[in-house]
Structure 1
């Protein structure tokens, strides 16, 4: 039945065109933003998961910065420790040369030892990075804590992991570089006096050997910490990339699929407009009957 009040064909064509236009708008939005899920209304569950994962990734970025800062501190300490071992080894050689030497020669050797003691002080106090000195420290009982991870449990609770380094085993001197720490006995070596005997020098040699052994252990501790930090930095970097990929799989649009869909919808839109035009022409056909 044809009616001039209700054009059922036009209404159907209009609804179809509206649906096509809506799908076309959605597809164009995905192409312009690159997201299949750009906001919560697109897919509340995926949007919520992606938002949380993006937030965690920002936290991982901060963890990477903390690891980089910690790596700098340990690297400086490790380099300085190795240099200090070389200098202490030179003091050991000077003490060996002082055995059986005359008082005058010992005085000259003592001057050389003093020079190296000053160098050790400079090494310890100069191993400073970002306001932290691991080797010249008045509080060796306080461990060095380096943020290493950001963890989210299945129930949503979060925790922060750290790498802890026991400074009591690596500190060379106090903050002034005068005494304390692994170099305490080495910094106190003095062979300038007339009453210094070969036995005294042998005692100093024993102290140097103990210091060298302790410093070797300290260098091993710092080296292990440096290696662990480097591995953690690499892991966090890869984890960040994996999270980015995971978020992309949830919310990113497939551009090949969307571009193909766009072309199809554009054709559907053109056909819908044509169908609506044909449906609207029915009323004109009815009027033509009256004109006849």
Structure 2
């Protein structure tokens, strides 16, 4: 049935043409924009994902700039630390030269002062965009990443760069004692009891070697005395030899050893008094009797008044003259903790910085004492190879006994990493000796600083490379989601253009159908 009111064929052709035109418009948009999802109406889910990823890409580009800035800042600090190390090595060379007395120490001191000023100039200039990592103690955070969780929460991740203070300041002493820091300085190794104070004696310590009250020595019987790994022996050449003869013979042999800082004397009885003024070294003593326990007389009585037990040997030890304090292995110093040594009523202190150890504290306190130039007072830091316990030894070789005490407090301002550099003075024998030991600590501090900065710089470089690769991967992923397939779009455009022409022709034919009805009325 034909109708002049309803042209079904035209309606179908029109709908087809509209569909073709819509697809053609979408394809033309893909070709012109290069995107298959250019707006939320194209594909809301994909568009939303792509926009989130695009925002992350924008953020990561900002992070790359932050990492570049941080890397440059750390590189400046590393170069400064390496330069300071080289300058300190030059200072060490001057100090070594000053160990020889037949040199012009005043001129050497002038060279050291010039090198010291150069170190100060390097530390002061080692900044990038106003940030100096070799001054102060506060850590610096460099934005390294933005981490997005599955729930959509975003958190920042930082690379923390520890400042390495290469200043020479002494800091400030602590004022509070809330952490009971005094118990960190103990009186003897492993004792765990806070150091109670003592006197720094200048006379050394003694031990008494005594002989048994035998009725006499038989022929060929002998006794040996070993002091500091040196052994002397008396052998009787006749029966009933007296203890006095044996004592005098052994005394003469011991005195002939000419041991450094060790003296031997008789106290008027059958005893020999051994006195050691060795500052940082104990002295072992032993006696051996060839006849004890073998049927003959025992001629060894004791060392330091011990009882006769009839054994073949007796041993003893004369302690070092220096007073020794130990630092607790069960605690670590915190930034601002101050440790103090009082010598002759004057206090000397060192305040710990961030991340320091008890060894750093001991060496810092040693530097503080050495820098004061106390006449006759010398120091040494010792570390137990087995337990790792650190101790500070303080010796007095002056004309009088000096009172010695320790204390600790918190709330101070950290001493600089090159604390003690300003006090290096090689114009005297004592100053040159102290400087040689202390400069090693300063060199190690600057080496540690350079190593820390080098490690941080390497990590920043790695993170920067990763962020660059991550940005490329995100861009590629976004392109996979929203970019148009241009080959497919080109082919689809040609097909739709043909379809549009055909649909237009079909609509034209359908619109002519009512005209055929007129022929029925002619």
> Does TM, normalized by the shorter one, top 0.5?
yes
Bigger relative contact order (CA 8 A; separation at least 6):
1
Q: Which residue of 1 aligns with 2:426?
A: 191
Which of 1 and 2 has greater Rg? 2
Supply the distance in 1 between the matched residues of 2:519 and 2:122 (Cα, whole angstroms): 105
Secondary structure class of the residue paired with 1:3: coil
Query: Which stretch shifts more, 62-71 or 225-234?
Result: 62-71
Residue 432 of structure 2 aligns to a residue whose secondary structure is helix
1:173 equivalent to 2:152? Answer no
Specify which of 472, 475, 479 is matched with residue 241 of structure 1.
472
Counterpart residue number, 1:56: 56
Aligned partner (choices 143, 146, 149) of residue 142 of structure 2: 146
Map of 1:196-275 to 2, 5 A cutoff?
A: 196-197=428-429, 199-275=430-506
Q: Is the 8 A contact 2:87 2:119 kept in 1?
A: yes
How far is the alpha carbon of 1:180 from its aligned partner?
4.4
Map 1:90-169 to 2 at 5 A: 90-102=90-102, 105-137=104-136, 140=137, 142-167=138-163
Match of 2:69 in 1: 69
Does the 8 A contact of 1:146 with 1:162 survive in 2? yes
- 3-state DSSP of counterpart to 2:160: strand
Displacement after TM superposition at 1:285 (Å): 2.0
Q: Name stretches of at least 5 consecutive residues in structure 2 with no aligned partner.
A: 170-413
Q: Could you tell me how far apart the structure 1 residues matched to 2:466 and 2:89 are?
A: 38
Residue 114 of structure 1 deviates from its aligned partner by: 1.2
Stretches (4+) displaced over 3 A: none
In structure 1, distance between residues paired with 2:105 and 2:431:
13
User: RMSD in angstroms over aligned alpha carbons?
Assistant: 1.6
8 A contact 1:136–1:174 mirrored in 2: no
Structure 2 partner of 1:279: 510
Cα distance, 1:190 vs. partner?
2.6
| Structure 2 residue matching 1:54: 3-state secondary structure | helix
Alpha-carbon distance between aligned partners in 1 of 2:71 and 2:155, rounded to the nearest angstrom: 21
1:165 Cα offset (Å): 2.1
CA distance in structure 2 between the aligned counterparts of 1:18 and 1:228, rounded to whole angstroms? 60
1:16-55 matched pairs, under 5 angstroms: 16-55=16-55
1:9 aligns with 2:240: no
- Larger % of helix: which? 1
The secondary structure found in structure 2 opposite 1:172 is: coil
SS in 2 for 1:42: coil
Structure 2: distance between partners of 1:89 and 1:202: 16
**Cα shift readout 1:80-113 (whole Å, capped 9, x = no counterpart):** 111110000000001111222457x211111111
**Distance in 2 separating the partners of 1:38 and 1:266:** 22
**Structure 1 counterpart SS, 2:141:** strand
SS at match of 2:146: strand
Q: Is the 8 A contact 2:94 2:108 kept in 1?
A: yes
Question: Unaligned 5+ residue runs, structure 1?
Answer: none
Q: What do residues 205-236 of structure 1 show as CA deviations (whole Å, max 9, x unaligned)?
A: 11111111122122111111111000000111
Work out the CA distance in 1 between the residues paired with 2:93 and 2:478: 62
Q: Distance in 2 between matches of 1:71 and 1:211?
A: 26
SS at match of 2:514: helix
Quote the offset at 1:289 in angstroms. Answer: 3.5
Secondary structure of 2:41's partner?
Answer: coil
Number of residue pairs matched by the alignment? 278
SS of alignment partner, residue 6 of structure 2 = coil
Distance in 2 (alpha carbons) for counterparts of 1:201 and 1:39: 78
Contact 2:425 2:431 in 1 (8 A): no
- How far off is 1:257 after superposition? 0.7
Whether the aligned pair in 2 keeps the contact of 1:36 and 1:253 (CA below 8 Å) is: yes
Give the whole-Å Cα distance in 2 for the aligned partners of 1:172 and 1:180.
Answer: 10
